[in-house]
Amino acid sequence: MGSISIIGTGNMARTIGALAVAGGNTVEVMGRDQAKAADLAKALGGSATTGEWGAVPAGDIVIVALLSAGVVPAVAHYGDALAGKVIVDISNPFNSAADGLVHGEGTSIAQEAAKAAPAGASVVKAFNTIFRHVLEKGRPAVFIAGDDAHAKARVETFVKSLGLRPLDVGDLKMAYWLEGAGVITMGLARHGVGNWDFALDVA
């Protein structure tokens, strides 16, 4: 199977990391707090290892599992260490009420991350529309967006290794709408659905 690095040590890092290990992937964890990264790698078991914050990731696919405000600064901090990597942005840049985005139309965290990424790296948006506990227990579709067909194909292979269904929504500019879909998911949880145990899917 594949080789991935996860930048981040929080809930989504743990959930995606656990699914990745179960799917037979080699997993590396990188956190700004090295002790948290080591703890998560140990908890994930398998062959999970710890990498140093800012060093060249071991994985071909690098999942940035940070709060949205940390994504672009982290990509900029890694800089050339990410050359040639497929960078996966999973963030939801919600405003404080979680009924809108912190940025306006025409951009997204994924597009801003692409601007900060080195030449030869490709950014793919994925996973952001799925609540963590649904990802853990369910089999939701994983919407992905990106400009590089080869990078998207690699992310699709990774998503399938988790037992999930990748669904391509188009170019990276569609990341804006995926981030909007994250807002819709929050609205559905609070209103029409009334609980947090669901995911957007295609019937």
Ligand X SMILES: NC(=O)c1ccc[n+]([C@@H]2O[C@H](COP(=O)([O-])OP(=O)(O)OC[C@H]3O[C@@H](n4cnc5c(N)ncnc54)[C@H](OP(=O)(O)O)[C@@H]3O)[C@@H](O)[C@H]2O)c1
Shortest distance (Å) from residue 23 CB to ligand X = 18
Q: Does 95 bind ligand X (CB under 6 A)?
A: no
Q: Which amino acid is at 188?
A: L
Among the candidate windows 32-40, 80-88, 110-118, 166-174, which touches ligand X by CB under 6 A?
32-40
* Stretch of 11-19, 41-49, 55-63, 145-153 contacting ligand X, by CB under 6 A: 11-19
Binding residue (CB under 6 A) for ligand X from 54, 70, 100, 170: 70
Classify the C-alpha dihedral 195-136-12-68 as positive or negative.
negative
> Which of the ranges 65-73, 117-125, 144-152, 157-165 carries the binding residues for ligand X, by CB under 6 A?
65-73
- Write out the binding residues for ligand X, residues 34-63 only, by CB under 6 A: 36
> From the CB of residue 121, how many other CB atoms can be counted at a distance below 10 Å?
23
Q: Indicate which single residue of 12, 18, 63, 123 sits in contact with ligand X (rule: CB under 6 A).
A: 12
Minimum gap (Å) between residue 183 Cβ and ligand X: 11
Give me the sign of the Cα torsion angle 194, 139, 132, 103. Answer: negative
> What is the residue whose two structure tokens read 């951009």?
107
Q: Which of 10, 46, 170, 180 binds ligand X (CB under 6 A)?
A: 10
**Cβ of 82: how many Cβ atoms within 10 Å?**
27
Whole-angstrom Cα distance, residue 6 to residue 13? 6
Between residues 149 and 184, which has the closer beta carbon with respect to ligand X?
A: 184
User: Per CB under 6 A, does 138 bind ligand X?
Assistant: no
d(CA 138, CA 88) in angstroms, rounded, equals 21
Radius of gyration of the chain (CA): 16
Spatial CA neighbour of 143 closest among 126, 130, 156: 126
Nearest-10 crossing angle of helices 11-22, 34-44: 30
Task: Give the interface segment with ligand X, choosing from 22-30, 86-94, 95-103, 163-171 (CB under 6 A).
Answer: 86-94
Could you tell me how many residues of this chain bind ligand X (CB under 6 A)?
25
List residues near ligand X by CB under 6 A: 8-13, 31-33, 36, 65-70, 74, 90-92, 127-128, 130-132
